[in-house]
Amino acid sequence: MKFSLSWLKQYLETEATIEEIAAKLNAIGLEVEGIEDPTEKLAGFRVAKVLTAAKHPDADKLQVLSVDTGEGDPLQVVCGAPNARAGMIGVLGLPGATVPANGLVLKKSAIRGVESNGMMCSTRELELGEDHDGIIELPEDAPVGTAFAEYHGADPVIDVAITPNRPDCMGVYGIARDLAAAGIGTLSPIAELDLPGAFPCPVEVRTDDPEGCPAFYGRVIKGVKNGPSPLWLQERLTAAGQRPISALVDATNYLMLAYGRPAHAYDLAKLNGAVVARRAKDGETVLALNEKEYTLDFEMTVIADDSGVHDIAGIMGGEHSGCGDETTDILLEIAYFDPERIAQTGRKLNLTSDARGRFERGIDPNFLDQGLAHLTKLIQTLCGGEASEVVRAGAAPTTPRIVHFDPALTEKLGGVVIKPEEQQRILESLGFSVVAEKAGFENSWAVTVPGWRPDVDGAPDLVEEVVRIHGLDKIESVALPRAEGIARPTATPGQKLERRVRRAAAARGLHEAVTWSFLPQAEADFFAEGNGGLWALSNPISEDMKVMRPSLLPGLLMAAKRNLDRGASSLRLFELGRRYLRGNGGASDERMALGVVLAGEKTARGWATGKAVAFDAYDAKAEALALLAEAGAPADKLQVMGEAGPQFHPGQSGTLRLGPKNVLARFGMLHPTAAKAFDIDGPVALAEIYLDAIPGKKGAASFARSHYAPPALQAVTRDFAFLVPVDLPAADLVRVVQGADKANIVSARLFDDFRGQGVPEGQKSLALEVVLQPLEKSYKDADLKAIADKVTAAAAKLGAVLRG
């Protein structure tokens, strides 16, 4: 919300400086984003007098001017303005000045062979209006040689960030009200106008959609003369970031910016029949003032006549019924629209406007008649004309809201002691009505909420109003109470697990990535299998963020592609986050997971290593096993099985399971089809660990690690070589061997996989190193033979035969 200081002072009698006003706005919760100083923008521009004007020797439409700047000899300036003439006083931009409208830095130059020392300026070039037909003409008594910024008057522009809960401050008057309540000045009351019509309104106005448009008022003004707005109005609109258009349009914008009350003016000659607020018909279209056509539906409210739709109600008017220079008769419309309907329509059409920003926040339903009266008076002042009687259709929801408020609540909730009489003064200065409660409400007030404060709903809201105006800086800082002794840990087991796994992944050389929880539809579809469908957003940030991610892998693959495209040779990425699934009954099911993507070169080429080596499925498996072990999963008991999913390369992927159904992780190489879909060249290894599937430790609440006690006796190592079927997974053999004698076997590890001479066809030789740990006494030969027999017997159950 931008406004000039002079505009604010129209409603606020104050001697405060711009710095004091800005400080107070920040103190009461209206954050000042910036202050624009016009003296900086107009630096280098001077009031100057044209002494002579002669035709350019080489251009019919140019003149060569001799200009008095008030200092030294006159300057020669080439000018193309039709109104440039000897004796006039205008504004000269000297070499070195920057033109505000386009950022052009003026300098001495030759135009068609004639030297020019600057530029005579128009109002548009100095951003003081829209007139560009000629240069600025100042009064004859304008002091030649004076800096134009000084002559024009320095009127700073304040830019305030208005939060969505403060619709009352979407107008300059509302900001002035807050400042007056905070002691900056005295608020000027809004004049109560009574403008009876001179004739009955010739247009029928009604509302056929009382839900979307409860109140719809209008009146006709005949005999207006449209044209440019006066300079004071153009300057105020320009300061607010609005482009002046014409007196009629500027008047409606002025009412909106001054009082937060949008309105609209129709060219009466372009209307046909009754003007009605109604629901749109499915498929109806309207060409809006932004020159774009919008397709409407039944959930939207429109303003229409017998010919069709003229206005997307509360958001934007139509192109074909707007006012132009030829307009002589107008219909003024001022209405109250349902905030939710306006917000929904704006989101559907992806259409924003100043009017929508005010209507969807909530405007004052009590300001319909007075808003229309003030707009009528302004238009008659600017354009003349005769007004009809007001036609009213429906009624705005003006039932007052009453909040029961105990002044003692301010100290309880706000932490500051404020006298009741001061609280009453603050509330009343903000427009609230305060009266003592009747019997039965001891020390309580009945506070009537004004119509321009739809955000105030209860007593805590009133505490907020009192405290912010009194001064948030006056609230004493008080430390929170803390019990003596050592503080109890606050991290949950899940948070501790996330920290541990994140540190472990980083320690293994992986780089953490943080990607969006939203994905494009196509990329999400590749990882949606078996997840019960995707969660699609009804109002996404963009089409590339339309679906909640069912897996962490697509986001990591997209990140990998961006890095590979920018020349990264080796990528080791991981991300810890949630994937979003559909639970039973369509409920949201969020699950913690960890994704790993390995792309590019595992080792670079070199004189010792030879060619570069790419990542493979075993690298992804190694990362998954290491991180699962760090997360507390029994890595030595996990089974390697297939069915990693269609996103993985068959034969080069698998799952890690604890039992046949509990999948803890999946790993492998990216399927070529998926790689093509993500536009990734080269092999990519990836893994996804489901942290929510890791079983918790029994008695975890009282779990304490026992002290380390190394065994007294040295471990014994024995090697076993088995002939097994060629399709038997080595992990299965390792698992059964390790479980053959749990009391003595500490670990089993595969160290050789041989297929060749001496091994029968259809078989392979797997060699395992088995570590045995004696406990109370050293092993004897009989003990070792008994253990070896158990190992052989266990392996035989898988079809393994001890190799001779």
CA distance 804 to 801: 9
The answer to whether 130 is a known ligand-binding residue is no
**Is residue 420 within 8 Å of 407, Cβ to Cβ?**
yes
DSSP β-bridge partners for residue 581: 589
Cα–Cα–Cα angle for 792, 794, 797, rounded to 5 degrees:
110
**Is residue 220 within 8 Å of 268, Cβ to Cβ?**
yes
The DSSP element (H or E) to which 641 belongs, if any, is strand 639-641
Would the CA dihedral through 337, 342, 344, 349 be positive or negative? positive
What lies within 8 Å, CB to CB, of 263 at 6+ separation is: 252, 255, 256, 332, 333, 334, 371, 372, 375
Q: Where are the alpha helices (DSSP H) in 207-353?
A: 231-239, 247-259, 339-349
Residue 116 CA from chain centroid, whole number: 49
CA distance 599 to 604: 13
Q: Are strands 31-36 and 205-207 parallel, antiparallel or unpaired?
A: unpaired
**Is residue 161 within 8 Å of 31, Cβ to Cβ?**
yes
CA distance 717 to 438: 93
Backbone angles phi, psi at 769, to 5 degrees: -100, 120
DSSP β-bridge partners for residue 345: none
**Is residue 39 within 8 Å of 97, Cβ to Cβ?**
no
What lies within 8 Å, CB to CB, of 346 at 6+ separation is: 315, 352, 353, 356, 360
CA-wise closest residue to 639 among 740, 734, 752: 734
The answer to whether 465 is a known ligand-binding residue is yes
The DSSP element (H or E) to which 524 belongs, if any, is helix 521-525
**Is residue 455 within 8 Å of 407, Cβ to Cβ?**
no
What lies within 8 Å, CB to CB, of 608 at 6+ separation is: none
The answer to whether 13 is a known ligand-binding residue is no
Neighbours of 790 (CB within 10 A): 16
CA distance 722 to 708: 35
The answer to whether 589 is a known ligand-binding residue is no
Neighbours of 669 (CB within 10 A): 25
Phi-psi region of 726 (alpha: psi -120 to 50; beta: other; left: phi over 0): alpha
Quick one: tokens of 411? 């100290």
**Is residue 67 within 8 Å of 107, Cβ to Cβ?**
no
CA distance 456 to 579: 38
What is the three-class DSSP state of 590?
Answer: strand
Residue 460 CA from chain centroid, whole number: 28
What lies within 8 Å, CB to CB, of 729 at 6+ separation is: 640
CA distance 143 to 404: 61
Cα–Cα–Cα angle for 15, 16, 20, rounded to 5 degrees:
175
**Strands (E) located in 549-614:** 570-582, 588-603, 613-614
**Residue list for the binding site for Mg(2+):** 455, 461, 464-465
Q: Which residue ranges are tagged as binding site?
A: 455, 461, 464-465
